[in-house]
Chains A and B, each alone.
Chain A
């Protein structure tokens, strides 16, 4: 019994590992239903930006570096949008203790982002996020091409550089 189970598992792992070598491997956004700050249900697989890149940033009200990242980008966001057409989606993982405070905070801070509420971490789990801030970059086709955790002053410069490269059609997976 145990041997059979082990054998099946080995075959499966091998076949899956093999299938990972296929060239057409792309990671798209998983499909999870979460809400935006106006209470409207959103399917995360349908997040899009008219063929332009998307930045997805996981954050929370209790996370200082997250808010620093979002405030820092907010200062240059209009310029970024004009230059590259990029859209930033800020996904709050605050639970129902403080999720109601997210919209007043986002508005009060003058962030121009699309803000989503992942109150029970369904999207966070589907995206394999452990610690926040955790930032993803999607290319114009909606494929996840880069991710990064933590924020230090100046990290935003790397981010916009990557977006520029994506717009030029360069591969950024090596960064």
Chain B
């Protein structure tokens, strides 16, 4: 309670500050904006799908952001309430309070932020603080950030602070800086040059007091208090071609994710793209080696990540193709991805009257090459240097592979639709951490057709079919059979711009076990008015992994009535 009042005082001072520093115009010139979201669900026990009994019956997550801007001054806060956290959210969120507050002041070339902030250096390989409220992911900094833009083409940033850990803060202090130079803005001789070059360098250091962690009963790990990380990046583009790369290095950082090995970490990302009107081609490759970087060395969950290791795989949007999603393996991964987006021109045989969109995407992730240090030390053995690795060699373990193709076509003024095929190979034992579980292969076909009834009313059909092999009902016991085939159907009726109605069913008809051939049905209704939306749905939710914006979390099976209200002002 005391803490909340401390926040009140803090925020009051922040708001009061411009009163003092500004003229009497203040009252007229400021503006307040914000948003609000509430998700609540009334749960019903359903032992057939594994939905547990919820003692509270109703669980709710809500937040509201309020931003106050007055000229060069902005302040804001976010109130969050989890009464109690909905299923799938960490129970340590239980409670209510002001989880985020900040003040930013811009003075000429400087921008100074006090309080909480989100920031990213380069592609995030050594530093990214980020929030994804729908997943309960938030590793916001609490501290100070200064940005300095001395002249066009140079941006310098410095940060220091600790990270959010539910309602507390992590024990590690994170500090660092980033410098970015846009050469074409910086040098007038290059201003007109068609080749655009941007360079960036960044450094991060984490301090966490040492602690005594024992292994083999009596031995103590040698834990560095300071861990440093450095990264450099380069972007070159010329007309329709572009090339970007980033390399990162992290000093020895024994922690619970890497089994306390005394080895440095490395990451490399490389992307080449070509695109012009009607055609886009991209190729990416990356290597990650021992890059788990957190501001608490014993933390194993999703929280307190200092950096972000993006997966090089497509994020699928349809429910069955999203059934087997991939997440980067921070301890070691080699990955490649290629994609072609092509529009077959109008008035050709394949293009038809309106043209046809074609997307082909392929990705593959494997382990990195790891060799034992010597005959007596196992690979990844704690309190050793872990292993040696050939930087350019792919490991022999396949983690994930995805080949997918999508065709989007407008048939006439009333009908348009898309057809997709997805082929996935999913290493369940590594990705989900179930040692011994076999690999899963899945073939998915999806049709999505919209039929326009009038200019405002339309009806949309979605049909999906999945054939899987190797997806055990019980990862410890193959005799309990496999999940095998799924079918999914949905009908959605919309009246623009306000109303949506939908009915859907996902049916695991191919399951080896008869009592697991379950219908996951759902009916929904949504109403939108300007920037507000209210959504109601009733039905069953399949247990699985939900991914939004590059972050995934496990969602449990649930059954019941849910409501979402969201609004911005």
Contacts and interface: CB of A to CB of B under 8 A. Distances in A.
A101 to B, nearest CB: 6
B260 to A, nearest CB: 28
B273 A130 contact: no
Interface in B32-57: 32-35, 37
B550 A154 contact: no
A101 B339 contact: yes
A8 B277 CA distance: 57
B30 A19 contact: yes
A1 B359 CA distance: 62
B568 A107 contact: no
A62 B317 contact: yes
A110 B278 contact: yes
B15 A12 contact: yes
B67 A126 contact: yes
Interface of A: 1-2, 5-6, 8-9, 12, 15-16, 18-20, 22, 24-27, 30-31, 33, 38-41, 60-64, 68, 71, 75, 93-98, 100-101, 103-110, 119-122, 125-131, 134, 146-150, 152-155, 157-158, 175
Interface stretch (B378-386, B450-458, B464-472): B450-458
Contacts of A152: 458, 494-497, 499-500
Contact of A19 (B28, B359, B500): B28
Given A6-B8, A8-B8, A147-B531, 9 more contacts: A19-B28, A39-B242, A40-B196, A96-B122, A106-B280, A121-B131, A128-B35, A149-B568, A175-B530
B555 interface: no
Given A2-B5, A33-B155, A154-B455, A97 B30 contact: no
A24 B274 CA distance: 47
Contacts of A25: 31
A94 B130 CA distance: 13
B107 interface: no
B252 interface: no
A125 B65 contact: yes
B106 A31 contact: yes
B535 to A, nearest CB: 9
Contact of B341 (A97, A104, A131): A104
A41 to B, nearest CB: 7
B497 A100 contact: no
A18 B182 CA distance: 44
B8 A9 contact: yes
A38 B341 CA distance: 18
Interface string B126-140: 001011010000000
Interface residues of B, number: 101
A172 B198 CA distance: 42
Interface stretch (B171-179, B295-303, B308-316, B396-404): B308-316
A47 B310 CA distance: 30
A146 B531 CA distance: 8
Contacts of B496: 152-155, 157-158
A149 B155 CA distance: 34
A68 B494 CA distance: 14
Contact of A12 (B16, B106, B124, B271): B16
Contact of A107 (B119, B277, B548): B277
Nearest to A107: B275
13 contacts: A2-B5, A19-B30, A40-B182, A41-B155, A62-B315, A62-B548, A95-B308, A100-B284, A104-B339, A129-B35, A130-B35, A152-B495, A154-B455
Contacts of A103: 242, 273, 275, 280
Contacts of B410: 75
Given A109-B343, A148-B531, A63 B182 contact: no
B569 interface: yes
B279 interface: yes
B566 A110 contact: no
A3 B78 CA distance: 22
Contacts of A131: 37, 533, 566
Nearest to B121: A120
B331 interface: no
Contact of A148 (B133, B500, B528): B528
A71 B355 CA distance: 12
A1 B8 CA distance: 11
B120 A120 contact: yes
Contacts of B271: 100
Nearest to B451: A153
A47 B11 CA distance: 31
Interface in B370-388: none
A105 B280 contact: yes
Contacts of A101: 282, 339
B455 A38 contact: no
B389 interface: no
A30 B69 contact: yes
Contacts of B407: none
Contact of B279 (A40, A108, A126, A147): A108
Contact of B566 (A39, A126, A130): A130
Contacts of B274: 104
B361 to A, nearest CB: 9
B317 A64 contact: yes
A6 B147 CA distance: 33
A97 B315 contact: yes
**What 9 A-B pairs have minimum CB-CB distances, sorted nearest first?**
A104-B280, A108-B341, A108-B280, A154-B496, A97-B310, A152-B494, A107-B275, A96-B123, A153-B458
